[in-house]
Amino acid sequence: MSSLPQILFLLVLGAAGFILYKRISYIRKTILLGKPLPRTDRPKERWKTMALVAFGQQKMFKRIGPALLHLIIYVSFIVINLEVLEFIIDGLAGTHRIFASALAGFYTLAMNLFELLALGVLISCVAFLIRRNLMKVPRLSSAELKGWPKLDANLILWIEILLMIAILTMNATDQLLAYRGVEGYIPLGGLWISNSIQGLFEGLSSATLLFLERFAWWFHIIGILGFAIYVTYSKHLHIFLAFPNTWYSNLDPKGKIPNMEVVTQEVKSMLGLQAAPEATDQAEIGRFGAKDVTDLSWVQIMNAFSCTECGRCTAECPASITGKKLSPRKIMMDTRDRAEEISQSKVAGKDGKDDGKSLLGDYISQEEINACTSCNACVEACPVNIDPLSIIIELRRYTSMEESGSPAQWNAMFQNIETSFAPWKFAPSDRFNWASKLNQEEKKPRNNE
C-alpha cells in the first residue's frame, strides 16, 4: 500500500475519532443535566447484574425466537469487530492481512468463524426486516414508532446487511487474487462461505478484482466507523449504554418506591427525630417531584438514552393493553427528546429550561401518567433494566404536590390519608370497630358448614 492510502486512512480514522469524541461528550453532558444520584452501593451485585443482563442477554430469552436472532447479531458484533483491529493496523502500516502469516492455520479458522457469523447476521437482519415491516408485530408498529424511529430501525438493519456483504465480497475477491498469484495476496487454504460465492467474480479481470477487493475493504472500515458515529444519534446507542445502564440500575425489590428525601427530613424534624435543616437566603427552593428533565436524576436520563425502543415494556403494560393512552416506551422516548432539546439549546448558547416548554405537559400528558398502575411490569420486561415507572412517579409527585392536579378521587384519598390515616373517610378510632365487625362476621356459622 502506498503512502497516499495510508495518509487517507489516517485522515478518515482521525475524523471519525474526533466526531465520536464530540458526540460522546455531548451525550455525557446531556445525561448530566439530571440531578446527582449516588448509585455505587453493592458493587458485587452490580457487576453480576451487568454480566447477566447486559453481557449475558438474560432478559431477552423470555421470547426465544427474537432472542436467538438478537444473540447472533450481538455475538457477531463482538467477534467480527476483532477483525477491525487488523483493518486499522493494515491501514496505518500499509500492510495486507498482517496477522495471516503469523497465525497461519489459526487465521484461516478465525476467518471461517467470522464468515459464519457474518452469514448469521445477514439471515438475522433479513428476518428482523420481515418481522418489523411485513409481519406487523403490534409492539413494533405503535404510533410512537412512526417516522424517524421506524426509519432508524430499518436503516441499522440495512447497514449491517451491507457491511456483512462487504466482508464476504472482500474475502472472495481477495482469495481469487491470491490464487492468481497477485503480489501481496495470501492464499488462506479455503474460506467456506466466501469461496462458495467466488463464481460471481471468476470471469472478471485481475484489475477489476483488485478494485472490488479494495472497494469492499474501504467500504467496510468506513462503514464500521460511520456506524459507530451513527449509533450515537440512534436508538442503537444501547449497544454501548446497556452496560453502564445495567450496572447503575435500581437493585431494590420491585414495588419499593423510595421516599422523597425532603419530605422525610421534614417529617423527622416534626417528630423531633432530627434537627431541622438551617435555612439560607441563597438556598434554592426545592421542587416536589419533576416537571422537566432537569428535575430527574442523571440515571433516569441515562435510562432514556439506553432505551432500545423494543416495546417490551408497552406490550406488558396493563394500562396500554386495556387501551389507555400510556406507553412506557413513549415515556422514555419523550424524556430523551426533551433532554436533547435542552442540551442543544445550551450548545446554541441559550438556556433550554427557559424556553417555555417542559417534559410534563408538552411531551407527556397527565392522562398518560394517571393511567399507570405502578405495577412495575415495564421495569421487569425491559431487557436493559430501564425504569420508566420512576419517571412517571416523579411526574405524578409534581402534579399532586405542586399543582394539586390529580383527579378529584385521588385528592379525596390523599386528604383521607392525611386526616384519617387511611384511604377511607372514617375516624382512626373507628378502625378497631371495623376490625371487630370483621371478626364477628368470621365467627358467624355458614349455611354450608
For residue range 211-226, list pLDDT tens digits in order.
999 999 999 999 999 9
Which pLDDT does position 278 carry in this prediction? 62
Alpha-carbon distance of 302 to 235, in angstroms, equals: 12
122 with 242, same domain: the answer is: no
345 with 245, same domain: the answer is: yes
Which pLDDT does position 282 carry in this prediction? 45
**Of 200, 233, 266, which residue sits at a domain end?**
233
211 with 291, same domain: the answer is: no
| Structural domain contains residue 124 | yes
Give the model confidence (pLDDT) of 54-64 as tens digits. 988 888 887 88
Three-state DSSP class for 35?
strand
Q: What is the domain range of residue 246?
A: 237-252+287-405
216 with 298, same domain: the answer is: no
In DSSP terms, which residues pair with 360 in a beta bridge?
Answer: 364
Grid coordinates in use for 374? Answer: 405502578
Which pLDDT does position 366 carry in this prediction? 92
Which pLDDT does position 1 carry in this prediction? 45
8 with 154, same domain: the answer is: yes
Alpha-carbon distance of 212 to 208, in angstroms, equals: 6
**Cβ distance 140 to 150 under 8 Å?**
no
223 with 314, same domain: the answer is: no
117 with 242, same domain: the answer is: no
**Of 405, 426, 444, which residue sits at a domain end?**
405
In DSSP terms, which residues pair with 112 in a beta bridge?
Answer: none
Residue carrying the nine cell digits 488462506: 188
Give the total number of structural domains in the chain: 2
Which pLDDT does position 283 carry in this prediction? 44
Give the domain CATH number at 305. Answer: 1.10.1060
Alpha-carbon distance of 54 to 41, in angstroms, equals: 19
Phi-psi region of 309 (alpha: psi -120 to 50; beta: other; left: phi over 0): left
Residues of the chain with pLDDT under 50: 1, 281-283
| Structural domain contains residue 76 | no
141 with 171, same domain: the answer is: yes
Terminus-to-terminus CA distance in the chain, angstroms? 95
**Cβ distance 74 to 57 under 8 Å?**
yes
16 with 115, same domain: the answer is: yes
